[in-house]
Structure 1
Amino acid sequence: MSFAVDGSVAVITGATRGIGRQIAFRLGRAGARLVVVGRTGSDDPDAVLPGSLPEVVAALGDEGIEARSVQANLTSPDDTSRIVDRTLEWYGGCDILVNNAGYTSNGPIIDVPASRWERAFRVQVVGPLQLCQGLVPGMLERGSGRVLSVSSGSATAISPNLSLYSTSKQAMERWNASMHLELGGRGVAFNVLRVDHIVSTEGWWHVYNTQGAEIATGGAGLETLKTPEYTAECADWMIRQPDGWSGHVVGFDDLTDLGGPEPGPPAVQ
């Protein structure tokens, strides 16, 4: 039996823009009540990119979607605890946890400061684990829940100047395997969506518009570019799979082979 999104409570990190924002809209339109998490508030907007928590909550509300927000930075243990505390205070539990927030600091491995490695592992591994420690016990008690983490094709690639992002995303995938090994089979599924094609998020468009297509695509061209909306559709499909479908790391092409959403036309033509 597929997982019912309607009536569920979904916590989504990195929800002010890009993939996280579209996942919020996708789940909200399906009837989920949302806790959207991000770093950007109305008083401290991003210097380059659009999107803030009040703006996202207002846009969701315009569609009749129930949404509350927690401004939090996953590099902070206290901020991460506040996400759990607010969710339990508002709704008494969480049914869907989407670990979408990401952090990277590109550069030669010998030059990237250790402090940035610590931030990356907080955001990609330790913070999601802390959220699970606070929210998954309730899922297990109820015998139902979903944890979906968003990884990257970088997890399987060795590329110059991407060691921090690659290593931390690979750790996220291994962490998910351990969650499934120890806690799977009890009504809660743990899966990873590996974003192994470039997605046309606001950040990507900024690079495209300021530095050109060659830099934005890494020379790969625009033919396989995916939209955030399609990525959210893939996440939704994975969340809805039956309880026993757990412990998977799935890329876009894998999803198509599994009978998941068909990719639409290229994001940029």
Structure 2
Amino acid sequence: MSKKVVLITGSSRGIGAACATEFAEAGYNVVIHCNSNIQKAKEVSELCKALGAEVLVFQADVSKYDECNRLVDAAIEHFGQIDVLVNNAGIEANGSIMETTLEQFDDVMKVNAYGPFYMSKLVVPHMIERKTGSIIFMSSTSAATGSTGSSAYATSKAALIGLTKTLARDLAPIGINVNAICPGPIETDMVAALPIELKTWIKGSVFAGRLGKPEEVGAAAVFLASEKANYITGQSLTIDGIFRT
């Protein structure tokens, strides 16, 4: 029996890279996607290969439908199937609604909300044909609570929750599961780039007393894609060490 295949957008670093290595360790072949940092994507590819995975690395801008189409076509041509789609690619533009420009809002929504919609629209027909599959949206705790000074990002991540629940209803009768993961503060480049005062406040606001690790999120994604989670769909799994928002 051939290995299952996972396609992970935004998997050259951070949570996406951790998802790639966790799926590789679980026995999957992996499609690694990046927008610009092809070198980092190749480094993640080597880690996955060392774990026994066959890997395809592909560069594309997920905010553009045609490029998403190229990505999905390449994955199908190379592996013949996509069993799991992890919609992880995302960007952030910090700022209140007064500070956020229309261009910034558009950019965040195109990558964080339109991109996952495009990718799911393109992958779902292949999953329907095989009557199986799992789609995972990487949302955020801010989807439910909001996030001070992050109007565009929180809005885009909230959109993914609605998409998760709707697709889950549409696809459950066919055997396709759809879930969201909502990470809180995780040790990623995005958090590392924050001002030291804000990082100190964030760490002090987590009851677990630390930031989460990307591989902890990746492990949750592997579980949601597994047969053990076949009856879990339309759900949002929060991974935040109990973040005091």
**TM-score, scaled relative to structure 1:** 0.81
Once the 2 structures are TM-superposed, how far is the Cα of residue 108 of structure 1 from its aligned partner? Answer: 2.1
Once the 2 structures are TM-superposed, how far is the Cα of residue 227 of structure 1 from its aligned partner? Answer: 0.6
Q: Relative to structure 2, which stretch is displaced further, 177-186 or 218-227?
A: 218-227
Report the equivalent of 1:19: 15
Measured on the aligned residues, the alpha-carbon RMSD in Å equals: 2.1
Write the distance in 2 (CA, Å) between the matches of 1:181 and 1:198: 29
Once the 2 structures are TM-superposed, how far is the Cα of residue 219 of structure 1 from its aligned partner? Answer: 4.4
Match 2:153 to one of 165, 168, 185: 165
Is residue 146–residue 239 contact of structure 1 (8 Å, CA) maintained in 2? yes
* Corresponding position: 1:178 with 2:174: no
Once the 2 structures are TM-superposed, how far is the Cα of residue 132 of structure 1 from its aligned partner? Answer: 1.4
Once the 2 structures are TM-superposed, how far is the Cα of residue 217 of structure 1 from its aligned partner? Answer: 4.4
Amino acid at match of 2:212: K
Write the distance in 1 (CA, Å) between the matches of 2:72 and 2:200: 37
Once the 2 structures are TM-superposed, how far is the Cα of residue 22 of structure 1 from its aligned partner? Answer: 0.7
Report the equivalent of 1:38: 34
Once the 2 structures are TM-superposed, how far is the Cα of residue 169 of structure 1 from its aligned partner? Answer: 0.5
Amino acid at match of 2:222: D
Decide whether aligned partners of structure 1 residues 159 and 138 sit closer, same or farther in structure 2, where only a CA change above 3 A counts.
closer
* Corresponding position: 1:110 with 2:110: no
* Corresponding position: 1:231 with 2:227: no
Report the equivalent of 1:120: 108
Write the distance in 1 (CA, Å) between the matches of 2:74 and 2:36: 18
Report the equivalent of 1:260: none
**1:38-57 to 2 correspondence within 5 Å?**
38-42=34-38, 52-57=40-45
Query: Unaligned 5+ residue runs, structure 2?
Result: none
Is residue 21–residue 44 contact of structure 2 (8 Å, CA) maintained in 1? no
Aligned-pair identity (%): 28
Query: Unaligned 5+ residue runs, structure 1?
Result: 43-50, 254-262, 264-269
SS in 2 for 1:140: helix
Runs of 4+ aligned residues of structure 1 deviating over 3 Å after TM superposition are 217-220
Structure 1 residues 16-58: Cα deviation after superposition (integer angstroms, max 9, x where no partner) = 111110110011111111111112334xxxxxxxx61122212
Is residue 187–residue 244 contact of structure 1 (8 Å, CA) maintained in 2? no
**1:60-71 to 2 correspondence within 5 Å?**
60-71=48-59
Report the equivalent of 2:25: 29
**TM-score, scaled relative to structure 2:** 0.89
Structure 1 residues 214-267: Cα deviation after superposition (integer angstroms, max 9, x where no partner) = 3214344160421111111122122224433210011127xxxxxxxxx8xxxx
Report the equivalent of 2:230: 243
Larger fraction in helix: 2
Report the equivalent of 2:71: 83
Is residue 146–residue 188 contact of structure 1 (8 Å, CA) maintained in 2? yes
